[in-house]
Amino acid sequence: MLHFANAHIGHTHLLCQIPELELAQQGLYSLVGANGTGKTSLFHSILNEVPLLQGTVRLEGRSIHEMDRQERARTLAFVPSRFNGVQHLKGWDYVAMGRAPHTNFLGQLNPEDRQRVDQVFDQLTISYLKDQDTSQMSDGERQILSIAQAIVQEAPLILLDEPTAYLDYPNRIRVLETLAQMAQKENRCIIQSTHDLELALCYSEHFLVLRNKQLKLLSNQPIPLQRETLLQEAFGTDFSSPKH
């Protein structure tokens, strides 16, 4: 589905080098690695916010960086780690912005667009947020709305930048459950970057580990990944894990 070919990632100097990697299966992927290893840069490179130093990234066989804007927006969705809300912007209107890559130059929503938006609110059981002002919601509610926006965008690949970083424990579980469900039901490839390894081990099928300028794919199924293995892969052998 997502395919890296000799991709060199970084702003001015090389942060990560991916000779050949294919994310063949749909599912929830967790991108882990120490601070400063380039998780955010990897996302920005896939999103074409920062050009690749070298190589290509393909989605379903087509180079992401050669698509035009609208097309790329229909293929790729991005959820920032925090949406602070905008005064007077209602929940429904915020989610409906995800339809932008599918609408005409005036941004008019047709009945199918509206139906799709309503459907997502039902699916995530958050219909009570439709008419609320996004600036007055809790962080958890806003995070779910951001995910809803990415879902109505109908992109096969969704990137989330630390979606649980600002959330309390119940909301973290809620967000991860939602993501895992979406990946399963709608056959999408969802990649979240995270530092929350324990929860990620519970919910994600695959891990992408960034360390020493290398990106490594580890599978959490059918055989569950050991916590110690993951910690070692991500942070090295000199890392001492917390005592129980």
**Structure token pair of residue 186:** 């709608």
For the window 15-54, what string marks contact with another protein as x by the rule CB under 8 A? --------------------------------x-x-----
**Residues 60-99, mask of contacts with another protein (x by CB under 8 A):** ---------xx-xxx-xxx-x--x--xxxxx--x---xx-
Could you tell me the smallest distance in angstroms from the CB atom of residue 49 to another protein? Answer: 7
In the block, tokens 């400063």 appear at 36
Shorter beta-carbon distance to another protein: residue 55 or 101: 101
Q: Check binding of 103 to another protein (CB under 8 A).
A: yes
1, 62, 76, 97, 157 from 67: Cα distances, Å: 16, 8, 11, 21, 15
Place of tokens 């087509």: 62
- In this structure, the dihedral spanned by the alpha carbons of residues 6, 7, 11 and 12, taken in order and rounded to 10 degrees, is 10
- d(Cα 129, Cα 143) in Å, to the nearest integer? 12
To another protein, the closest distance from the beta carbon of 145 in angstroms equals 12
Residues that bind another protein in the complex, under the rule CB under 8 A: 47, 49, 69-70, 72-74, 76-78, 80, 83, 86-90, 93, 97-98, 100-101, 103, 105-107, 153
